[in-house]
Amino acid sequence: MDARSALLVHAAFEMVAIGVGVQLYARNLRRDNNGSLTRGPAFRIAVGCLIGAILGSKLAVWMEYPDLIRLHWGSPQLAFSGQSIVGGLIGGLCGVEIAKRMSGVERSTGDAFVMPLIAGIVIGRIGCFLAGLHDDTFGVATTLPWGVDFGDGVRRHPTQLYDIAFVLALGAVLVSVRHRLSLEPGLEFKLFLSGYLAWRLGVDTLKPVPFSYAGDLSGLQLLAAVFLIAYTPRVARQMRRLA
């Protein structure tokens, strides 16, 4: 697959992922009697999530590839230089919290995002896998039997498929204990977010590191680690209340 075709395939799967995620989120709002996605606080929260996710995704990409800032400074190309799930999740959370504060919403709203996020990540990662070498989500070389040759004769860890398997497994676990987690609104989302970021902190050791920070961490790993240090105490407090 050439670069142009890979870009189109990846973009198509991204659009489908966003569309499916939005539809699932709207369904969850109706199920929980939390209003409509097209008006009121739910709409403002969704907009805050979207804006935060976009900004967070861009900042994370620039952390991962700091040379992009130097190469494309002052050019529109800088704004279209890739996406990051890690940055999108963290930025989306920040956007939601800001929107809630501005709208006077005090209840937890995160749980309604969990399944839409899982569906979006799975669909998006299929696009990443099909894009192959033209997407920066593949792993380092491996001799393991499930290594994938993306067209250059080198068998690599299919880390895109690892991501799919992990979020599906995490989603299954969360669904199995959802009734109990519902006693602490927001805990399901916190467990999903912290679980996924911890996963990325580990699995990204199987990916090439374009620019290393302290401890040989990539930009995304550093971002995930710093966020987990700040976020984990909140998760632990709710888990203790649930015990």
Q: In the predicted model, what is the mean pLDDT of residues 206-229? A: 92
CA distance 1 to 126: 15
For the chain, the first-to-last Cα distance in angstroms comes to: 52
Backbone angles phi, psi at 150, to 5 degrees: -85, 15
Is the confidence at residue 80, as pLDDT, over 70? no
Domain that holds residue 19: 3-242
pLDDT in tens, 229-238: 999 999 999 9
DSSP string covering the chain, please? Answer: --HHHHHHHHHHHHHHHHHHHHHHHHHHHHHTT---TTSHHHHHHHHHHHHHHHHHHHHHHHHH-THHHHHHTTSGGGGGS---HHHHHHHHHHHHHHHHHHHT--S--GGGGHHHHHHHHHHHHHHHHHHGGGSTT---B--STT-EE-SSS-EE--HHHHHHHHHHHHHHHHHHTHHHHTTSTTHHHHHHHHHHHHHHHHHGGGS--SS--GGG--HHHHHHHHHHHHHHHHHHHHHHHH-
pLDDT in tens, 173-204: 999 999 999 899 999 999 999 999 999 999 99
DSSP string covering 28-89, please? Answer: HHHHTT---TTSHHHHHHHHHHHHHHHHHHHHHHHHH-THHHHHHTTSGGGGGS---HHHHH
Is the confidence at residue 102, as pLDDT, over 70? yes
Query: What is the pLDDT at residue 1?
Result: 67
Our count of domains for the chain comes to 1
Q: In the predicted model, what is the mean pLDDT of residues 88-92? A: 93
